[in-house]
Amino acid sequence: MDFLGVPFPVFAGQLLIGLINGAFYAVLSLGLALIFGLLNIVNFAHGALYMVGAFVAFLLLDILGIGYWPALLLSPIIVGLFGMVIERFLLRPIADLDHLYGLLLTFGLALLIEGFFRQMYGVSGETYAIPSILQGGFNLGFMFLPTYRAWVIVAAIIVCGATWFLIEQTRLGATMRAAVENADLVRAFGVNVPLLVTLTYGLGVALAAFAGVLAAPIYSVNPLMGSNIIIVVFAIVVIGGLGSIKGAIISGFLLGLCEGLTRVYYPEASNIVIFVVMAIVLVVRPAGLFGKTA
């Protein structure tokens, strides 16, 4: 059975991998977009904190014997709290400066965090087992679908949906949206905006950590796992624009799929295709797919 010139199982398999990568891209760029909205900085440390999320899950298991399911909740909380400390003590002092300083500072943090984990755990990486009920898979007839991979996609969609709901449908979300528009005025209504900013950074970073825990059983838990993915996510964010929650989610999944398709038809280009798309978008629609044209 051939599909567009390749055997269908191959096609479907690569598409699935694309969808899984897309799930990670979506959760990561969603966090970046949240942070960007309120802090106006691009969080360079996002990839490093994704890695820390995976490591926290690994360490919880290794040291305390705490398994996957609690870790899925605990690791984002721990990393989120860590992020709030970062925001409060490192990012807030430079909040009034040019936003490029935020980029530089978080870049430094990324080096610091990755260097630390490399020093402690080397570069070879640690394995993290798939939780028992998610082992195995389904035979779909045309291909084998590993349960854990299906779960990753479902979990990412749930988390993206929940975040969307929080931002678009709740009072807290309305306050956050208002603060994105005019933080001063929201503050003059009695809202503790600095606290809101801290919480938002914590939430964005917690999303990264959640993605890290999801990734732990698929990729090895590795100090460098965040540094390459974050550059791809930056490209996605340029493509989608940082302005919208929906835009971040959709472009994350779409570009994952796009990468998967490339792996089917022109594997050599699979790791640059997203950058190529970015270049094309910059030529055709410089403000990004979901950005407002200036």
Partner 1 sequence: MTDTLLQTKNLQAWYGESHILHGIEFSVPKGQIVTLLGRNGAGKTTTLRSIMGLVKNRTGSVVHEGTETIKLASNQIAKRGIAYCPEERGIFSSLNVKENLQLPPVIADGGMSEERVYELFPILKTRGNSQGTKLSGGEQQMLAIARILRTGAQLLLLDEPTEGLAPVIVQQIGEIIKRLKDEGFTILLVEQNFRFAERMGDVHYVIEHGEVVDRFERAEIANNREKITGYLGV
Partner 2 sequence: MTDTTKTDFNRAGEAKAGTASTSGAAAVLTDIRLWSAIGIVVLLILPHYVYPVMIAKVLCFALFAAAFNLLLGFAGLLSFGHAAFFGMSAYVTGYCLQSLGFTAELGILAGTAAGALLGLAMGLLAIRRQGIYFAMITLALAQMVYFVALQAPFTGGEDGLQGVPRRDLFGIIDMSSNMNVYYLVLGVFCIGLFIVYRTVHSPFGQVLKSIRENEPRAISLGYDADRYKLMAFVLSAALSGLAGSTKVMVFQLASLTDIQWQMSGEVVLMAVLGGIGTMVGPLVGATIIITLQNELAQIGSVSTIVQGAVFVFCVLAFRRGIVGEIKHRWTTWRGRS
Answer yes or no whether residue 180 interacts with partner 1 by CB under 8 A: yes
Count Cβ atoms below 10 Å from residue 41 Cβ, excluding itself. 22
Applying CB under 8 A, the span of 131-139, 140-148, 189-197, 271-279 interacting with partner 1 comes to 189-197
Strands 144-146 and 2-3: unpaired
174 binds partner 1 (CB under 8 A): yes
Write out the binding residues for partner 1, residues 4-43 only, by CB under 8 A. none
Specify the DSSP class assigned to residue 189. T
Q: Are 117 and 55 in contact (CB under 8 A)?
A: yes
- In terms of CB distance, is 167 or 235 closer to partner 2? 235
* Closer of 61 and 167 to partner 1 (Cβ): 167
Residues contacting 36, CB < 8 A, separation 6+: 42, 43, 242
42 binds partner 2 (CB under 8 A): yes
Considering only 188, 269, 282, 287, the residue that binds partner 1 (CB under 8 A) is 188
Compute how many residues bind partner 2; rule: CB under 8 A. 46
User: Cα dist. 70→119, 122, 161, 186, 210 in Å?
Assistant: 27, 26, 21, 36, 12
Cα(164)–Cα(46) distance, integer angstroms = 19
Residue 242 touching partner 1 (CB under 8 A)? no
Question: What Rg do the C-alpha atoms of the chain give, in angstroms?
Answer: 19
Task: Looking at the chain, list the stretches that DSSP marks H as alpha helix, in order from N- to C-terminal side.
Answer: 8-39, 46-59, 68-86, 99-121, 147-169, 171-188, 193-215, 225-240, 245-265, 273-284
For residues 211 and 239, which CB has a smaller minimum distance to partner 2 in the complex?
239
Residues 95 and 39: beta-carbon distance below 8 Å: yes
Is 185 one of the binding residues for partner 1 (CB under 8 A)? yes
Contacting range for partner 1; rule: CB under 8 A; set: 49-57, 183-191, 206-214, 232-240: 183-191
- Minimum CB separation from partner 1 for residue 185, in Å? 5
Q: Kindly tell me which of 132 and 293 has the beta carbon lying closer to partner 2.
A: 293
Give min distance, CB of 281 to partner 1, in A: 24
Task: Tell me which of 130, 178, 224, 279 binds partner 1, using CB under 8 A.
Answer: 178
Q: How many residues does the chain have?
A: 294
- Taking the complex as a whole, the smallest distance from the CB of residue 201 to partner 1 amounts, in Å, to 18
Residue 100 interacts with partner 2 (CB under 8 A)?
A: yes
**Distances, alpha carbon 13 to alpha carbons 8, 16, 257, 264, in Å:** 8, 5, 11, 9
Q: At what angle do helices 193-215 and 68-86 cross, to 10 degrees?
A: 140
Match 């030529």 to its residue by tokens: 283
Verify binding: residue 191, partner 2, rule CB under 8 A: no
State the number of binding residues for partner 1 (CB under 8 A).
18
Interaction between residue 98 and partner 2 (CB under 8 A): yes
Interface ranges with partner 2 (CB under 8 A): 41-42, 90, 93-94, 96-101, 103-105, 107-116, 118-119, 182, 184, 227-228, 231-232, 234-235, 237-238, 268, 271-272, 275-276, 278-279, 282-283, 286
Interface ranges with partner 1 (CB under 8 A): 171, 174-175, 177-178, 180-182, 184-193
